[in-house]
Amino acid sequence: MAEFPIACNLQGDYGFKVIVVDEDDTIADVIQKTSDQLVGVLVAPFPPDTVLKARIHGAEEPLDDDVTLKGANILQMAALDIYAEG
Amino acid sequence: MALLKMEEWYDLARETNWTPSYASEEELYPETMSEDFGIPLNVWETFDEPYKVSYRDYVRAQRDKDVAAYSVKAALARAEFFKNASPHWKALLALHFSAVCWAEFHSASCFGRMTRFGRAPGMRNMATFGTLDEIRHGQIQIYFAYEFLKHDAVFDWCHKSSKTENWIIISLRHALDDIAHTRDGTTAGVMLNMGLEQSFTNLQFVALSADAAKCGDHSFATMLQSIQTDEARHAQIGEPLVRILCENGRKKEAQQMVDISFWRMWKQFSALSGIGMDYYTPLEHRENSLKEFMEEWVIGQFGRTVEAMGLALPWYWDYLKHDIATFHHAQQIGVYVYRATQWWRPIASVSPAEREWLEEKYPGWNDTFGKCWDVVTENIRNGHYDKTVPAPPPLICNMCHLEVSGVAGGEWQPVDYHVDLDGRRYHFCCEPCKWIFELEPARYKGHRSIIDRAFDGTIGPELDDFLNYMGQSEPERGVCGYDYQWIDGYDTPVAAE
């Protein structure tokens, strides 16, 4: 287990936050940890059945939910956009 | 005996260049302190300041200004005004004095460098007055602020702030160190005068003084006016320097100095004065928004000044027009929700009436930044105060050291730029901040933002560690300036969960 800070901007929020995750966390874990900390604080709850995805900031395609940060070669303090699919 | 008129002796009296015999020209004017850009001395000697003043007249005018400011202060019993002032105005005073007193005082060092190392005698003459101005500005402002200390310990930060590692102070200090305190006399002359004083300070003091008068704070208004007139005079050092550079093959360098310094100061102005104008000024006294102010006085007037000097508008001018409507709104949310990291008591300023004003001045505000405030508002209405403070820290720009932010809500637009260098990732809030870094990475790469320090072990892991590192003991940690009472304007009762 290694502390792994990553910059995430959850859809609706005004800016990036530094979320501390683990390098073995999957992208789905990162999405969950980010939304747990920001939904109901700065971002209104998403409608039921909303699927959140993550992408490297500036990229078109989402990252696979099941891949780990290490597996996706994501560096510490990399910037991710987390957004509602569709 | 009749005295000569100033115009009859001024040119002669300021011709103070001489041929050194005990030291070389290079020893007298080392390049690191006195860059001449390869332009011969006789060209620098053509520097002609547009506003001329003699020492006799300078002292007389300054004495009169001091008498006026201190008399108004004494006559109006400021302490009573302060007791009755709204939390809005108290927050604005605390923010202004804590950020400006030391910055003005430090500027004396920059003008002192211009006085000693300026190549043109006329420049040195003007810079001498500028040095005296800045000492006066530091002193008068800290004196006016000091009176409040017996009523509110927040004002201790007017003196203390510059010596702390508070994140907002780091941001302002980094910008001023960059343009004013780590440049040679010529470059600092252009950057400080053009990038700060001619573009922002002069105009800011006019606008703030008008707001102060409308709020009934006449002593603050008088003090600001007395400072503004100094700024208007000594800011005119930059223009002749730019003209000399442009006319002698150094337009590119002059353009870069203006482009860097203007952007660095815009970011500070946006976050500090932008919040002051659009959120901290009491609603009943607000007229122009930051955006309107910028469009008229800076994008319009300063833009024309830049072009009249033979320079182009900065390359990011179109982006600036977008930034004036967004950046400070995002920063205001951060300043409020991370309020414990502020030494003053932040104001939300999003009551229904205030939101109406924001929507009128910034169409779409309710659907963008207003969406974050909706969530904060609901949490307060439900008594969930703990949920008004985000657990994760914000990402901080490695140039302006303010939050990396974009557009919130329904028009969500995440913004981030980065540079990877020597195994480290540097984040930037905008393309101009990244551009400045990339011009001279060696100059900037060693600096660590407050967030870098939190994750490299410089600061301990607990929130208390973070706040103590920033110099904030428990009573010095910001709380809501209205103790959440601003929520009273929302009339619909909220059912308890």
Q: Compute the distance between CA of residue A84 and CA of residue A40 in angstroms, rounded to an integer.
A: 16
CB B140 within 8 A of CB B69: yes
Query: Rounded distance, CA B400 to CA B421, Å?
Result: 18
Residue A83 lies in a domain: no
> How would you classify the pairing of strands B424-428 and B417-421?
antiparallel
Which three-class secondary structure state does DSSP give residue A43? Answer: strand
Q: Which residues of A touch B (CB under 8 A)?
A: 5, 7, 9, 11-20, 34, 37-38, 40-44, 57-58, 75-79, 81, 83
Tell me which H or E stretch contains B427.
Answer: strand B424-428
Structural domain for A53, as ranges:
48-72
**Chain B closest-CA separation from residue A66 CA (Å):** 24
Secondary structure E strands in B251-291: none
| Cα(B178)–Cα(B448) distance, integer angstroms | 14
Nearest to A38 by CA among B240, B123, B405, B391: B391
Q: How many CB atoms lie within 10 A of CB B476?
A: 21
Structural domains of chain B, ranges and CATH numbers in brackets:
34-489 (1.10.620.20)
Residue A53 lies in a domain: yes
- Give the per-residue pLDDT at A51: 97
How far off is chain A from B241, nearest CA to CA, in Å? 39
Angle between helices B121-146 and B87-117 (to 10 degrees): 150
Of B92, B101, B268, B87, give the one whose Cα is nearest residue B168: B268
Q: How far is CA B316 from CA B254, B260, B293, in A?
A: 16, 11, 19
Query: For chain A, what is the domain count?
Result: 1
Residues of chain A positioned with their CB less than 8 A from the CB of B376: 42
Q: How far apart are CA B164 and CA B429, in angstroms?
A: 24
B333 closest CB neighbour out of A9, A14, A37:
A14
Q: What three-state secondary structure class fits A39?
A: strand
Query: Which residues in B1-106 belong to E strands, given as ranges?
Result: none
Q: Do B418 and A16 touch (CB under 8 A)?
A: no
**Contact flag A14-B334 (C-beta cutoff 8 Å):** yes
Q: How far does the CA of residue B330 sit from the closest CA of chain A (Å)?
A: 6
User: Contact B392/A43, CB-based, under 8 Å?
Assistant: no
Nearest CA in chain A to B378: A40
Question: Whose structure tokens read 């700065």?
Answer: A42
Mutating which of B380, B381, B395, B417 best tests the A interface, going by the most A Cβ atoms within 10 A? B395
- A76 contacts in chain B (CB < 8 Å): 425
Compute the distance between CA of residue B371 and CA of residue B367 in angstroms, rounded to an integer: 6
Residue B414, amino acid: P
Q: Which helix (H) or strand (E) holds B266?
A: helix B251-268
Q: Do A18 and B393 touch (CB under 8 A)?
A: yes
DSSP code for B312: P
Q: Is residue A68 part of a domain?
A: yes
d(CA B94, CA B152): 10
Strand partners, B413: B407
What chain A residue is nearest to B425 in terms of C-alpha separation?
A77
Beta strands A52-56 and B424-428: pairing type?
unpaired
CB contact under 8 A, B390 and A41: yes
Residues of chain B found within 8 Å of residue A35, distances taken between Cβ atoms: none
B371 in reach of chain A (CB within 8 A): yes
Say which of B371, B403, B425 has its CB closest to residue A12. Answer: B371
> What is the residue-level pLDDT of chain B in tens, covering all 497 positions?
678 888 888 888 888 888 999 999 999 999 999 999 999 999 999 999 888 888 999 999 999 999 888 887 776 655 577 888 899 999 999 999 999 999 999 999 999 999 999 999 999 999 999 999 999 999 999 998 888 898 899 999 999 999 999 999 999 999 999 999 999 999 999 999 999 988 888 767 777 888 888 888 887 888 888 888 888 888 889 999 999 999 999 999 999 999 999 999 999 999 999 999 999 999 999 889 999 999 988 999 899 999 999 999 999 999 999 999 999 999 999 999 999 999 999 999 999 999 999 999 999 999 999 999 999 999 999 999 999 999 999 999 999 999 999 999 999 999 999 999 999 999 999 999 999 999 999 999 999 999 999 999 999 999 999 999 999 999 999 999 999 988 888 865 444 43
- Other C-beta atoms within 10 Å of B143: how many? 15
State the Cα–Cα distance between residues A12 and B348, nearest whole angstrom.
19
Structural domain includes residue A81: no
Residue A63 lies in a domain: yes
pTM for the predicted model, two decimal places:
0.95
Higher pLDDT, A38 or B207: A38
- Nearest-Cα distance to chain B for A68, in Å, is 20
**Residue from B101, B93, B68 nearest B216 by CA:** B93
In-domain check, residue A85? no
| Residue B491 confidence (pLDDT) | 67
Position of tokens 């932008």? B274
Q: For residue B391, give the chain A residue with the closest CA.
A: A37
> In the prediction, which pLDDT does B68 show?
86
Q: Is residue A64 part of a domain?
A: yes
Q: How far is A37 from chain B (nearest CA, A)?
A: 6
